[in-house]
Amino acid sequence: MTAVSSASDLVTTAAPPVPRPDINRKRLARMGWGFSAPALIVIAAVTIFPIVYSVVMSLNTVTVTGNGFSLDGFTFSNYNLLVHSSLWRSALFFTVYYTVVTVIVELVLGTCIALVLERLVAGRGWMMALLLIPWSMITVINAELWAYIYNGTYGVADSILNAFGLGHPVILGTPTPAIIGLMIADIWKTTPFVAIIVLAGLVMLPGDVYEAAEMDGASGWYTFWHVTLPLLRPTIALAVMFRVLQAFGLFDLPYVMTNGGPGTATQSLSILAFHALFQNLAFGPGAAVATSTALLVLLGCLATLRVFRAQVGQEGN
Amino acid sequence: MRNRKRVGWHRYVNGVVLATIVTALFVILPLYWLIASSFKAPLDVGTTQLFPNPISGANYSQAFKGYDFGIYFRNSLIVTIVATALVLILGTMAGYALGRLPMRGKFTTLVILLMISVFPEVAVIAPLFLLMKEIGWLNSYQALILPYTAFNLPFAIWILRNYMLGIPKEMEETGRIDGAGPLRTVWSIVLPQALPGLFTAGIFCFTACWTEFLMALTFNDANNFRTIPVGISDFGGNFQVPYGTIFAASVVAVVPIGILVFIFRKFVISGLTSGAVKG
């Protein structure tokens, strides 16, 4: 396979490139920027400009006036406030904890599901279609559904726990059960997504490696651990990255299910920023929370790439 | 070799099939609970009745008559369809240019696009909110259409660019020799080839707009401009949550997207795994 493709590469490089007049090239380049301009302008207006402005706001004393706001000079106090705020620290801790636990559980479960589906002879298409339903679900609906399931008086989770002799825990009203409850809702919605990505990676693995492993008398478990998993590393890195990004921006689920409570037990960084910005109108500190969250997401991405040492998004041209 | 041939009853009852059934139940049971509860009589919603008995449509009429779910549905439809159309038009143009035209700095542009798609929404809502307040855009369709377009464009551009890269150069040249202008070439030669990419980008954008919550909540809080997620999150008061109505509305909200995803499932999966394939 490699021999064939490299041979064809040789052929194409050996063929003389069609000479194009330089003027034509310039004209095409201009046309290219003309074609991309509308998209790039929209993107810049709605993402790059606000991101920069968020950073500016977070570094300023922002005063909200009658019909607007004003920036009153450079200051580092917003970040200073953040670092010394127990609210921010607990939100940071909750968000990181939530991200780590859900991503690990979803990865393990998703890989198991993918391994099962790969061996499934009939009905794989139907299973894939089924797995897409939670993915396409509105998160707010997912939140309402699980809040109903966890309800203390008529929730089905309550009946199940009681049937197992665990009494009637107030699920969304007690910190630890509330966090676990949120995680379960998240795991239900996103594990299928991880499973689909891992399955796609599994299907593409070369079959001859497995034959070699079998000839060597490797056990199933050994093969999985030493052959499948290393080959799957880029796929898993991609899934982890998507999930870390999503989980770190966590907002919809706790906003609807617990509104950050009980107390501040499920207050994520996004919820903290939202409350600071739109309930307390503290635009300086709110922007500081938002900016630092974005920064942490970037760092999280880089860390993930480091751990997996995979080149996600890097393509040959 | 890995998938051993099974014979006799082992073909139907084995670990793989059992694990598949467990997985299916894991996905289906909460969904069943959502649908079943929506068809219960309003008083039965507050019980753990396993099957709706009697089957009732009261929650559905309550969602549309007692609450303004019809308005929310219309708003979601308008915002989602316009944003998706814009993403496809602008994304095709940019994807074509970045994929096929000799522009300097296009790789840098693509990398910046990738980085933008990584940013959490919360980093942009405060400045956007203040800006929209300034120009009087809060509670309007464009307040959501524009951000949704911008946030979904990077992925669409990447997907479409990848499809455009795969189109043989000769096809385009044939068109040019026949005297077709650049727009004409894109329309009648490149676009048909990039159709799978358009499906993938379209279904992703549609799903993202249909489910988006944070910006819709921040920019369009007036009842007349709420989308489905904001509307549903605000049903009822603080003390009593009308779950029956919420679930009836939810079923209505989930059905269109479910049908679309089912029809275009091939393209959804190819979009989800496009990174895995390339990585």
d(CA B63, CA B97): 46
Is the CB of B274 inside 8 Å of chain A's CB atoms?
Answer: no
Per the CB < 8 Å rule, is A147 touching B269? Answer: no
Residue B168 pLDDT level (bands cut at 50, 70, 90): confident
| Between residues A90 and B9, the one the model is more confident about | A90
A113 touches chain B (CB under 8 A): yes
Residue A72 near residue A62 (C-beta atoms within 8 A): yes
Which of chain A's residues have a Cβ under 8 Å away from the Cβ of B269? 128, 132, 196, 200
Please tell me if residue A123 touches chain B, with a CB cutoff of 8 Å: yes
Contacts 24+ apart (CB under 8 A), B3-12: B3/A119, B3/A121
pLDDT in tens, B91-100: 999 999 998 8
Which residue do the tokens 């670092």 mark? A83
Q: Which of A115, A148, A233 to mutate to test the interface with B (most CBs of B within 10 A)?
A: A148
Q: What is the model's pLDDT at position B166?
A: 81
pLDDT at residue B3, as a whole number: 53
Place B279 in a pLDDT band, splitting at 50, 70 and 90: very low
Q: CB neighbours of A108 closer than 8 A, spacing ≥ 6?
A: none
Confidence at A13, pLDDT banded by 50, 70, 90: very low
For the ranges A208-222, B16-30, B76-90, the lowest mean pLDDT is seen at: A208-222
Q: Which of A233-237, A267-271, B68-72, B136-140 has the lowest mean pLDDT?
A: A233-237
> Chain B contacts of A47, Cβ < 8 Å?
116, 119, 124, 150-151
Does A5 score more than 90 pLDDT? no
How far is B124 from B129, CA to CA, in rounded Å?
9
Given A42, A134, A291, which is nearest B27 (Cβ)? A134
CB neighbours of A85 closer than 8 A, spacing ≥ 6?
none
**A90 falls in which pLDDT band (50, 70, 90)?**
very high
| Domain boundaries along the sequence of chain B | 8-59, 68-234
Tell me the percentage of chain B whose pLDDT exceeds 90: 45
The yes-or-no verdict on residue A256 having pLDDT over 90 is yes
The confidence band for A11, taking pLDDT boundaries of 50, 70 and 90, is very low
Residues of chain A within CATH 1.10.3720.10 domain(s) are: 80-308
Per-residue pLDDT band for A63 (boundaries 50, 70, 90) equals confident
DSSP assignment, residue A228? I
Percent of chain A beyond pLDDT 90?
Answer: 34
Q: Provide the b/e sequence for B194-233 (b: ≥16 CB within 10 Å).
A: beebbbbbbbbbbbbbbbbbbbbbbbbeeeebbbbbbbbb
Question: Which of B279, B215, B253 is CA-nearest to residue A304?
Answer: B279
Q: What average pLDDT does chain B have?
A: 87
Q: Residue A221: which pLDDT band, with cuts at 50, 70 and 90?
A: confident
Is the model's pLDDT at A230 over the cut of 90? Answer: no
The B residues from 39 to 68 touching A (CB cutoff 8 Å) are 45-48
Would you call A138 and B228 a contact, using CB atoms and an 8 Å cutoff? yes
Contact status, residue B56 vs residue B40, Cβ threshold 8 Å: yes
Token duo for residue A231:
């080959």
pLDDT in tens, A132-177: 999 999 999 999 999 999 988 888 888 888 888 887 788 888 899 9
Task: Indicate whether A317 pLDDT > 60.
Answer: no
Residue of A nearest to B154 (CA): A43
Residue among A42, A313, A21, A24 nearest B93 (CA):
A42
**Shortest CA distance from A131: residue in chain B:** B27
Is a pLDDT exceeding 70 seen at residue B19? Answer: yes
The answer to whether B80 and B88 have CB atoms below 8 angstroms apart is: no
The rounded distance, in Å, linking the Cα atoms of A300 and A273 is 19
Nearest by Cα to B129 from B149, B141, B119, B144: B144
In the predicted structure, residue B9 carries a pLDDT above the cut 80: no
Chain centroid to CA B141: 18
- Mean pLDDT of all residues in chain A? 84
Listed range (A124-128, B181-185, B228-232) with the worst mean pLDDT = B181-185
Judged by a CB distance cut-off of 8 A, whether residue A120 touches chain B is: yes
A-chain residue closest to B90, CA distance: A39
Q: Is the pLDDT of residue A85 over 50?
A: yes
**CB spacing of A297 vs B94 below 8 angstroms:** no
**Residue A19 — pLDDT band, cuts 50, 70, 90?**
low
CATH topology of domain A80-308: MetI-like fold (1.10.3720)
Whether residue B200 is predicted with pLDDT greater than 70 in this model: the reply is yes
Query: Which CATH number describes the domain made up of B68-234?
Result: 1.10.3720.10
Minimum mean pLDDT range among A254-268, B177-191, B258-272: B177-191
Confidence at residue A14, expressed as pLDDT on a 0 to 100 scale: 45
Cβ pairs A/B, distance under 8 A:
297
- Res A100 pLDDT > 70: yes
Please report residues of A whose CB lies closer than 8 A to that of B118: 245, 297-298, 301
Which residue is it, tokens 């000079």? A73
**Range from A69-73, A129-133, B105-109 carrying the lowest mean pLDDT:** A69-73
